[in-house]
Structure 1
Amino acid sequence: MVSSRCRCRAGESPSSSQKVNPKRGVTYPSALTYSSAKSPAAKTGEATTAYQKPPVPGTTAQPVTLMQVTGATTTEATATSLPKPSPSAGSTTSSLGPQPVGHRSWELDLGSTSSYASGHHSPRANPGEMDLWQPGSVLLDAGFVPKEELSTQSLEPVSQGDPNCKVDLSFLIDGSSSIGKRRFRIQKQFLADVAQALDIGPGGPLMGVVQYGDNPAAQFNLRTHMNSRDLKTAIEKITQRGGLSNAGRAISYMTKNFFSKANGNRGAAPNVAVVIVDGWPTDKVEEASRFARESGINIFFITVEGATENEKQYVTEPNFSNKAVCRTNGFYSLNVQSWFSLHKTVQPLLKRICDTDRLACSKTCWNSADIGFVIDGSSSVGTGNFRTVLQFVANISKEFEISETDTRIGAVQYTYEQRLEFGFEDHSTKADILNAIKRVGYWSGGTSTGAAINYALEQLFKKSKPNKRKLMILITDGRSYDDVRIPAMVAHHKGVITYAIGVAWAAQDELEVIATHPANHHSFFVDEFDNLHKFVPKVIQNICTEFNSQPRN
């Protein structure tokens, strides 16, 4: 059934496109002063301090003036009159087909003469819903454009952005038919408030937007707009796509396409994705979100007007939010009761996004470890095979993201004696690491593997960072001349995850003692040196599987 009610402002026509002349003898204000719709303190169950954009040095914050645009010319004068819409004689509604099972009632949408599917929304009234113009908010399409857009030159210095909130940020916004035009405008206003609150710039946060319906599409990427003003203008121009609410498909698209170097991903900045969902998704999000988390993307979910108890039977994936977010401890989830309360989440959301120390999903198996290779350089290996071992070490190393803050690589060579080839702090780029591996010279001698493990713990892993995973990858071709049990136990006790790789004459029982439990995941045996390269994918897979299996709470 089509709802006949129209949620309009008092004295406002549901058809905003109708031209009405101003009343005679009435003087209207020439300009409106813009004020943000963000709430200085949101009530979300935690004490929050408002995120404030730092002022640009040498400037004074000024209110942004909104002006009327008439035809092709724009004027600013004291006596400019603004037309006030007159009440409409009525509104028309188009005929609609039956609703899909589980969707809520249809309702007339503000600013349109035809009705739109409300989809995931119940016809229940909210006290704030009868007045679209909430205190401190301005409609994006009310017939005005910011004065700042009309100026061809900016008097303010270009901001480099807030360095205390340096994140690469993607908003996935719901453009499905179910949301309706009015709620879609509220969603755009929310993005505009976020853009205004953040100090966008190359040295601070960067922001892009993906809109999803049946299929997702990028509205603009991280490098498209490098300041808050341009970003807000771009947000105002976004048009609704329509279709279903396929959030899972959008998350997959974002993971594969959005955070690329070509699109402005900076590498050193945490990747953050904020997914806004109207009611509930029409597809599943769990698998797509897991892939995003494993790629180092911090997923936040904002669920607006979620399913009521009698509607939960229609939800495609129960408990979808907890299955999608980076952690299920409440930090990454925001539930909003009404679209008209969405503006209250601006400050709580930005406080969390800018708290980069708590963005746990920035850590992945590719960028969060100190990896120490312990290489057998005994006489039985031989020069040619030793070069093959070094190629194996290089093949594993090149799979990781290497920098001072990401994965770091070190290497020890041993015979009867031990030698530190290079430490974790010696090389901070992948190219330097690969060159250092090539320069390692073959030593030749006996095989004291137990002493080599002790040496690596003291000379290599003692300088590992506290927040890093410590991985030891030991490669040997024979049985050790000394005991490996106690050194291996010490390594395990110190939290060093040990992989033991044996070649040719290596002893299987000794490899299992050296390896971290379970031994079948951390020990490998290959009959010939030339077959070492076949184990590179398996070692990498086990490293990442172990990392991703860690509890998410």
Structure 2
Amino acid sequence: SFSLILCLFVLGVFLTCTYTAKEATKKTKKAKLYVPQIDCDVKAGKIINPEFIAKCPPGCQDVKYRVYGTDIYASFSSVCNAAIHSGIIDNTGGKILVQKVAGHSGYRGSFSNGVRSLSLPRWRESFLVSEGKPRKGVTYPSTLEYSSSKSTAVKSGNVNVPTGDAIRKEHQTTPVPTPATQMATTTPTPTTTTTDPSTTVPQPTATPAATRTTAAAAKTRPGLHRVRDMAFRGTSTSASNRNILRHNTGVQRQEPVATFQRAAGSSAHLAMETDSWKPGLSLFDTGFSSKEELNPKPLEPVSQGNQNCKVDLSFLMDGSWSIGKRRFQLQKRFLGNVAQALGIGSAGPLMGIVQYGDDPSTEFNLKTYANSKDLRNAIEKIQQKGGLSNVGKALSFVNKNFFLDANGNRGGAPNVVVVMVDGWPTDRVEEASRLARESGINIFFVTVEAAAQSEKQNVIETNFVDKAVCRTSGFYSINVPSWFSLHKVVQPLVKRVCDTDRLACSKTCLNSADIGFVIDGSSSVGTGNFRTVLQFVANISKEFEISDTDTRIGAVQYTYEQRLEFSFDKHSTKQDVLNAIKRISYWSGGTSTGAAISYASEQLFSKSKPNKRKIMILITDGRSYDDVSMPAMAAHQNGVIAYSVGVAWAAPDELEAIASDPVKEHSFFVDEFDNLYRYVNQLIQNICTEFNSQPRN
């Protein structure tokens, strides 16, 4: 019995220990990992931990948070914006897993998920980003360890390089790359750096100036990135000094010698004449800045601006290689002068810039700068992207991404795009332009140094300007014979974009109509079906932009008699209109559709504004007791576009007589009231198709 008791005791102890261990395991499993949050501007090189999970806040998709590389990123990159570039998270933020890896000899820039990453020649530390899920067997820190932020300035070349003075050797702070050349006189070339384990300052390899200049002059630009080489431009020489040299020189265009005031054989002259480029190695491409840019001056106070020119303006800046560095500087000077002449301010014009080459990217949006001085300073710091002249792709980008509320679009101000083009685009613009115009964007073109007669055979899309601009009257296009005379069109361009009365493309199918509903309230409809008709009217109305200056809505109900439910000037907001529709009470009576059309013409459409399209939408469920053809014809002659919607017992011949031509696109029929909803989208689509088919002269 003693042995039995002993066995039971041992068993009890064993079970107790097992239970305790299980509970402890449960608690351990239930313990949640605390995920530290990092800011958008935090670079991977600033965090010492070799692997960590962190949470990115919303709003990190911004050009000021630089990213270097594709898939594998240099540790000088913003962690969160790199995660957006790789597609792990979007601009709303989220959890990410970061793993540090060895440095690479080169990082390739690309455009992905709305983020433009830059190229970088070499960097001693890289990182990968993936979904923010812990890996098995890895313990992740709940707080991140950062390297010291205290820094001193060490001069190298023309750039002041910040370096840490209290950094752990095994996790050194990522230093700023140092150019080995002076940007004012030579073409940037790659720098070979060596990292001494005892210091964080990269040592640039010295290169004699003469050697650098000769190399710059001799090096060719890769054919892939030469936009208008022999395949595009031909070999002709034009009078405007747009001479295209042979393919093996690497020079896109030959500058007039007189503009440099230097001896043709000098090294500085050679450096400026030669537009050489090496993928990933140019200081213009990497985006590194001088000390002045790293420590920007405080912004100027918000300006009210020129209140006689309230427009939301985007300039599409040509960053293609065909333009060359000299002309790119002239383009920046022109944009700065335009910004000054516009009078940027919160109550006046706002201006953003998108630069395009192979792909477009936003340099800054409408809300970034609120006065001309800050805007001009920012324009001066823009670096050339290079690549092709893909204007069509840039217009699509602006249409989808630029004029958003989040980017400072004000709604009440016309949207204007001014496209700068050196020569001609390398893709098609017609379809992208049409979609942009239909979105209410006024498109202007400033073309510089257009194709010479011998070059026209190389233009991909003939008459591309007329196919793109808002109207073909000449108001929306300016051609300049040379980049050196671009300054002469500053005032003419500003005058045109500020003439808001002539910005015709601000008017779209959704914001430029007076829409009058003529509603059958006869006894055959019935109370329940009448509510269904009102819902149909409301569903159409809510798709339009409603205000005093945009689309206006009015309504007439009829039986034998007619009643004005509300006029065009009665309600100026969408919610007021929808409430007014809901309050319409069912009348009941006979069906005099002809008299109702005449009444609507007199009480509604005779009071339309001259710049509004007059649209009548008539809904009926039966044959009229009076003639409809004569009143309908009179309405058509007075500019009313009539749509007829018949239900149940409506007469097809009357519906066709009421409808404008072509009848098939203006007349609809459903067998019962509950099916009315099916024609909401079709009706709106037809209204917009008709609007957009207007001639653009």
Q: 1:351 to 1:118 in 2, by over 3 A?
A: farther
Matches of 1:506 and 1:495, distance apart in 2: 25
Q: 1:436 to 1:188 in 2, by over 3 A?
A: same
Contact 1:412 1:422 in 2 (8 A): yes
Q: State whether structure 2 residue 422 is matched by structure 1 residue 278.
A: yes
Paired position in structure 1 for 2:464 = 320
Deviations 1:113-152 (A, max 9, x none): xx99655x5x4x65875569xxxxxxxx9x9999xx9875
Q: State the secondary structure of the residue aligned to 1:163.
A: coil
Matches of 1:319 and 1:371, distance apart in 2: 36
Paired position in structure 2 for 1:166 = 310
Paired position in structure 2 for 1:95 = 219
Matches of 2:378 and 2:653, distance apart in 1: 64
AA partner of residue 472 (structure 1): M
Q: CA deviation at 1:462?
A: 2.0
TM-score (norm 2): 0.61
Q: State the secondary structure of the residue aligned to 1:402.
A: coil
AA partner of residue 454 (structure 1): S
Q: CA deviation at 1:153?
A: 8.3
Matches of 1:100 and 1:251, distance apart in 2: 26
Please list, as runs of the form range in 1=range in 2, the aligned pairs for 1:127-142 lying within 5 A after superposition. 129-130=259-260
Q: State whether structure 2 residue 647 is matched by structure 1 residue 503.
A: yes
Matches of 2:333 and 2:623, distance apart in 1: 68
Contact 1:118 1:179 in 2 (8 A): no
Q: State the secondary structure of the residue aligned to 2:232.
A: coil
Contact 1:105 1:118 in 2 (8 A): no
Q: 1:116 to 1:429 in 2, by over 3 A?
A: farther
Contact 2:219 2:250 in 1 (8 A): no
Q: 1:116 to 1:453 in 2, by over 3 A?
A: farther
AA partner of residue 233 (structure 2): H
Matches of 2:694 and 2:474, distance apart in 1: 18
| Aligned partner of 2:374 among 230, 249, 253 | 230
Contact 2:159 2:290 in 1 (8 A): no
| Aligned partner of 1:393 among 516, 537, 550 | 537
AA partner of residue 552 (structure 2): R
AA partner of residue 343 (structure 2): D
Q: State whether structure 2 residue 451 is matched by structure 1 residue 307.
A: yes
Matches of 2:564 and 2:686, distance apart in 1: 26
Matches of 2:402 and 2:361, distance apart in 1: 10
Contact 1:300 1:332 in 2 (8 A): yes
Q: State whether structure 2 residue 362 is matched by structure 1 residue 362.
A: no
AA partner of residue 661 (structure 2): H
Contact 1:116 1:180 in 2 (8 A): no
Q: State whether structure 2 residue 351 is matched by structure 1 residue 207.
A: yes
Q: 1:428 to 1:153 in 2, by over 3 A?
A: closer
Q: State the secondary structure of the residue aligned to 1:201.
A: coil
Q: 1:192 to 1:105 in 2, by over 3 A?
A: farther
Matches of 2:639 and 2:532, distance apart in 1: 29
Matches of 2:658 and 2:249, distance apart in 1: 65
Matches of 1:170 and 1:116, distance apart in 2: 35
Q: CA deviation at 1:95?
A: 2.7
Please list, as runs of the form range in 1=range in 2, the aligned pairs for 1:141-220 lying within 5 A after superposition. 158-220=302-364
Q: CA deviation at 1:439?
A: 1.4
Deviations 1:417-448 (A, max 9, x none): 11111111111111111111111111111111
| Aligned partner of 2:584 among 437, 440, 462 | 440
Contact 2:632 2:658 in 1 (8 A): yes
Moved over 6 A (4+): 85-90, 143-146
Give the number of the structure with larger relative contact order, counting CA–CA contacts within 8 Å between residues 6 or more apart. 1
Q: State whether structure 2 residue 679 is matched by structure 1 residue 535.
A: yes
Paired position in structure 2 for 1:11 = none
Matches of 1:241 and 1:131, distance apart in 2: 28
Q: State whether structure 2 residue 644 is matched by structure 1 residue 464.
A: no
Contact 2:591 2:623 in 1 (8 A): yes
Q: 1:535 to 1:232 in 2, by over 3 A?
A: same
Q: CA deviation at 1:515?
A: 1.0
Q: CA deviation at 1:221?
A: 0.8
Contact 2:442 2:505 in 1 (8 A): yes
Contact 1:117 1:179 in 2 (8 A): no
Contact 1:116 1:177 in 2 (8 A): no
Deviations 1:340-371 (A, max 9, x none): 11111111101111111111111111111000
Q: CA deviation at 1:238?
A: 1.1
Q: 1:277 to 1:237 in 2, by over 3 A?
A: same
Paired position in structure 2 for 1:76 = none
TM-score (norm 1): 0.77
AA partner of residue 503 (structure 1): V
Gaps of 5+ in 1: 1-69, 73-84, 107-114, 133-140
Q: State whether structure 2 residue 689 is matched by structure 1 residue 545.
A: yes
Matches of 1:524 and 1:102, distance apart in 2: 51
Please list, as runs of the form range in 1=range in 2, the aligned pairs for 1:17-36 lying within 5 A after superposition. none
Q: CA deviation at 1:489?
A: 1.6
Q: CA deviation at 1:232?
A: 1.1
Q: State whether structure 2 residue 553 is matched by structure 1 residue 409.
A: yes
Q: CA deviation at 1:186?
A: 1.1
Paired position in structure 2 for 1:343 = 487
Matches of 2:315 and 2:234, distance apart in 1: 26
Matches of 1:116 and 1:295, distance apart in 2: 44
Matches of 1:129 and 1:521, distance apart in 2: 61
Contact 1:301 1:334 in 2 (8 A): yes
Q: State the secondary structure of the residue aligned to 1:164.
A: coil
Larger radius of gyration: 2
Q: 1:369 to 1:182 in 2, by over 3 A?
A: same
Q: CA deviation at 1:94?
A: 3.7
Matches of 2:624 and 2:261, distance apart in 1: 79
Deviations 1:522-541 (A, max 9, x none): 11111111111111111111
Q: State whether structure 2 residue 428 is matched by structure 1 residue 257.
A: no
Matches of 2:691 and 2:185, distance apart in 1: 63
Contact 1:474 1:499 in 2 (8 A): yes
Q: 1:152 to 1:263 in 2, by over 3 A?
A: closer
Q: State the secondary structure of the residue aligned to 2:548.
A: coil
Contact 1:304 1:338 in 2 (8 A): yes
Q: State the secondary structure of the residue aligned to 2:554.
A: strand
Paired position in structure 1 for 2:392 = 248
AA partner of residue 540 (structure 1): I
Gaps of 5+ in 2: 1-157, 161-183, 187-208, 224-228, 237-247, 263-283
Deviations 1:318-351 (A, max 9, x none): 1111111111111111111111111111111011
Deviations 1:282-304 (A, max 9, x none): 10000000111111111011111
Paired position in structure 1 for 2:26 = none
Matches of 1:460 and 1:308, distance apart in 2: 55
Q: State the secondary structure of the residue aligned to 2:597.
A: helix
Matches of 2:598 and 2:439, distance apart in 1: 34
Q: CA deviation at 1:382?
A: 1.0
Q: 1:294 to 1:387 in 2, by over 3 A?
A: same
Matches of 2:299 and 2:675, distance apart in 1: 65
